Structure 1
Amino acid sequence: MNYILFDGPERNALLPFTFTRPVADIRIGILTIREKWEMRLGSTTTTITEEYLSEKFPMVEMEENVMINASFLPNSILAEMIKNLTSNQAIFKNEDIIAFFTHENQEEVDFDTYDIIQFDGDCLRVEHTWDIFAKNDTAIREDFELLTEDRKSQPIPKSVNTIAKENIFIEEGAKLEFVTLNASTGPIYIGKNAEIMEGSVIRGPFALCESGRVKLASKVYGATTVGPHSVIGGEVNNSVLFGYSNKGHDGFLGNSVLGEWCNIGADSNNSNLKNNYEEVRLWSYETESFAKTGLQFCGLMMGDHSKCGINTMFNTGTVVGVSANIFGAGFPRNFVPSFSWGGASGFTTYLTNKAFETAKKVMERRNVEFMEEDAKILEQVFEVTKKWRKE
């Protein structure tokens, strides 16, 4: 069967992260949503997404296809139901579509003509940016079970101090010595060729993905995910780094999400709790206003390729778009549009030619090429976000 993951209406609520990727390629837990589905289904997937993203994330359509709403995270029961879908069947959870069967020549889908199957079980769903860190605890636990089932961990080095070592899994090539791992509060997964440097103290749930690094004497609270080739240091609490991003120095990052190719300068901090302990509001690209999150703790949402200089201070509930460069004294406002250059004293436009020069240099350091399709995506983001910048 050919499986296609589609964005759905949740895409706009997941900006700025979906400016540069489909919903399916958001990382939550240990794996991306796409990787979870592919492991559960035993099949590759393609994507229906925004037209400007489709060159990098194409769709492959066959005679028979199953479309899956990428905002839903799979479990074994849901994956089995989807594998068993046949012509003119659809799976709903209450009023929300999860998956449906289509034919290549089917121009319109009328669910009134479908056999509707209700999914009554529990499953995770990512509908808002803050869900990525707020639901990361459960997501790490589910991915840990999926990835480690019937497998044996590499041995834990003798110098490592552990609590509940049965909940620790180490992949081949990982390096760690003289660190403390407390997995009594949740599992700890250490990916292939990852490294945890001496003196670090980590409390689960925690995921360090392939080639990720935790620097000397770091303090990490769950539920935290450090994506592939990402680096953390200082103090990190309940945060997700998608991949290739750095928060490598002292300073606090809490209840936050960083996309790819982000860099947090030394001694930078974000607030994750308001002084008056009120509910945090977060910028919404859908309503172009600040929306209630229902959360008391909510920190920084930073889109791909954004950076901040040393000693940057972020207010509670700050949203930074794509390719922003923030520096200087004081608190920048809590919505920084994409391609902004500056800080608390004001912003100018970060022109694409300058942003692309930086992106190329940053990616070359990790042996990744900045492709023409990447430039096209960022050029489109520059255009669609122009209305929020003060030119």
Structure 2
Amino acid sequence: MGIILFDDNSWQTLKPLSFTRPVANIRIGILTIQEKWELHLSSPTSSYLTQEYLSKKYVPVVEEENLLVNGSILPSASLVSTIKTLELGQILTKGNIVIAAKCTKSQASNFKFDQTHEFQPKTFDGEISKITHPWDIFALNSQEIQADFQLLTKGRTSAAICPSNKVIGNNIFVEEGATITCATLNSTTGPIYVGKSTEIMEGSLIRGPFALCDGSSVKMGAKIYGGTTIGPHSKVGGEISESVILGYSNKAHDGYLGNSVIGEWCNLGANTNISNLKNNFALVKVWSYSQKRFIQTGLQFCGIIMGDYSKSGINSMFSTGTSIGVCTNFFGSGFPRNIIPSFAWGGTQGFITYKKCNFLPAISATLARRKRELTDEDKEILDSIFEMTKSDRSF
């Protein structure tokens, strides 16, 4: 049976992070949402039902029988148990949210989450966790680190931790190939997960819940607070709190990052600092790409949301609740506006459009540093986003 993770309206409201990926490809906790469902459903592979311009890279694979799962919903034991009871032609909902459907090849090929009248309804009475806005990612990250930690470490034994470290608490799991030297690891506030081929350098102070994913490193003297995930193949330093770096990105130097989500292939220049609290302690508003206005998050603490391939220069500063699009390059002194559109190049003195002849070589050079290449599918996705966001760039 094929497992297909579909996008609902959350794909619109999770921009700029969802511009470049299906929702289920977003990392929250230790794993991506796709990886969570694959483990819970004991399925080694799954595919996506997403936007047309993303489908060449994220190809849907439709079988004779298929289980469609909402890619914005985080799995739990009770939810998975209910989904496994679905019969062919049934759809599981909670209120107006479509959670999952079991269907034929024809139904899967023509599936639309807002047109499900041909399915027999079944209601889920339990609680669900769903990401709808980018700030939900860091808000729910602590609970998801703990859930993923249990999922990944059950019945397994951690690799040994070097005695040069100061270990507080016993809720730490280290994968083989990780190097940790002269660091302080405090898991009394939540689990600490250290992935394969990672490094935590001397003098680092880490408090759980915390996840360091495969191939990533924490540089000397870093201070990392709970609720933080460092995605694969990333480098971090300075001070970080309650933030998620999706992967392949660097915040390698001093500076503060709090209550934020950073996409893939991003770089925060040395001493980049993010404000995550307004001076008047008011609740934070953030730009909504779907509503074309600033909307209330309901949160007092909210830093930045940064789309893929974006960068900040040294000594950059960002105001509370700043949304930064895909493939932006901000540099210079002072605070920019709280919304920096995709493909913007410049600073507080003004922006120009970051042209294809300039951003493609820059992205290719970034990927080459990790022995990756920008594929034709990636280039087509960037072309589509460039056209989609053209009206946002009224410089």
TM-score interval (norm. to shorter) = over 0.9
Q: Which whole-Å CA distance do the structure 2 matches of 1:306 and 1:150 have between them? A: 40
The residue aligned with 2:58 is: 57
Q: Does 1:227 align with 2:228?
A: no
- What is the Cα deviation at residue 116 of structure 1? 2.5
Alignment partners' CA distance in 1, 2:339 and 2:72: 24
Superposed, 1:209-288 pairs within 5 Å as 209-288=213-292
Q: What aligned pairs does 1:92-241 form with structure 2 within 5 A after superposition?
A: 92-106=93-107, 107=110, 111-112=116-117, 114-165=119-170, 167-241=171-245
Aligned-partner residue type, residue 139 of structure 1 = E
Q: Distance in 2 between matches of 1:300 and 1:37?
A: 28
The aligned amino acid for 2:38 is E
The separation in 2 between residues aligned to 1:252 and 1:21, in whole angstroms, is: 27
Q: How far has the Cα of 1:140 moved from its partner?
A: 0.4
Q: CA 1:250/1:114 → structure 2, altered by over 3 Å: closer, same or farther?
A: same
User: Take 1:260 and 1:311, find their aligned partners in 2: how far apart are those partners?
Assistant: 21
Single out whichever of 136-145 and 87-96 deviates more from structure 2: 87-96
Match of 1:28 in 2: 28
Q: Is the 8 A contact 1:352 1:382 kept in 2?
A: no
Shift of the 228–103 alpha-carbon distance from structure 1 to 2, 3 Å rule, reads same
Quickly say closer, same or farther: Cα 1:111–1:380, change in 2 above 3 A: closer
> Which of 379, 383, 395 is 1:379 aligned to?
383
Aligned residues: 390
> What TM-score do the two structures reach when normalised by structure 2?
0.97
> Which residue does the alignment assign to 2:302?
298
Letter in 1 for 2:76: N
User: Once the 2 structures are TM-superposed, how far is the Cα of residue 83 of structure 1 from its aligned partner?
Assistant: 2.6
Give distance in 2, aligned partners of 1:70 and 1:217: 37
Deviation at 1:115, TM superposition (A): 3.4
**Higher deviation after alignment, 107-116 or 2-11:** 107-116
Asked if the contact 2:253–2:271 (Cα under 8 Å) also holds between the matched residues in 1, the reply is yes
Amino acid in structure 2 at the alignment position of 1:154: A
Query: How far apart, CA to CA, are the structure 1 residues paired with 2:96 and 2:286?
Result: 26
Report the AA paired with residue 147 of structure 2: E
CA contact (8 A) 1:187 1:204 kept: yes
- Residue 7 of structure 1 corresponds to which residue in structure 2? 7
- Please provide the CA RMSD for this pair: 1.2
Contact 1:281 1:291 in 2 (8 A): yes
- Percentage identity across paired residues of the two chains: 52
Q: Which amino acid aligns with 1:307?
A: K
Consecutive unaligned residues of structure 2, counting only runs of 5 or more, are none
- Answer whether contact 1:319 1:335 (CA < 8 A) is retained: yes
TM-score (norm 1): 0.98
Looking at structure 1, the residues matched to 251 and 129 of structure 2 have their Cα atoms a distance apart, in angstroms, of 27
Stretches of structure 1 that go unaligned for 5 or more consecutive residues are none
**Aligned amino acid, residue 77 of structure 1:** S
Amino acid at match of 1:176: I
Q: Is the 8 A contact 1:348 1:390 kept in 2?
A: no
Which residue number in structure 2 is paired with residue 389 of structure 1?
393
Q: Could you say which residue in structure 1 is the equivalent of 2:352? A: 348
Q: 1:76 corresponds to which residue?
A: 77
- SS in structure 1 at match of 2:384: helix
Q: Does 1:313 align with 2:314?
A: no
Partner AA of 1:29 in structure 2: G
Equivalent AA in structure 2 for residue 125 of structure 1:
K
Q: Which runs of 4+ in 1 moved over 6 A?
A: none
Residues 7 and 72, structure 2, Cα contact 8 Å, conserved in 1: yes
CA contact (8 A) 1:259 1:303 kept: yes
1:115-167 CA deviation, whole Å, 9 max, x = no partner?
322222233211110000000010100000000000000011111111112x1
Is the CA contact (8 Å cut-off) linking 2:167 and 2:186 kept in structure 1? yes
Q: Structure 2 CA distance, aligned partners of 1:296 and 1:276?
A: 10
Aligned partner letter, 1:28: I
Residue 301 of structure 1: SS of its match in structure 2? strand
**Native 8 Å contact 1:10 1:128 kept in 2:** yes
Provide the secondary structure at the position in 1 that maps to 2:262. Answer: strand
Match of 1:105, SS?
helix
Does the CA-based 8 Å contact 2:89-2:104 persist in structure 1?
Answer: no
What secondary structure is seen at the aligned counterpart in 1 of 2:10? helix
Aligned to 1:42: 42
Aligned-partner Cα distance in 2 for 1:319–1:40: 33
2 CA distance for matches of 1:374 and 1:160?
Answer: 42
SS at match of 2:357: helix
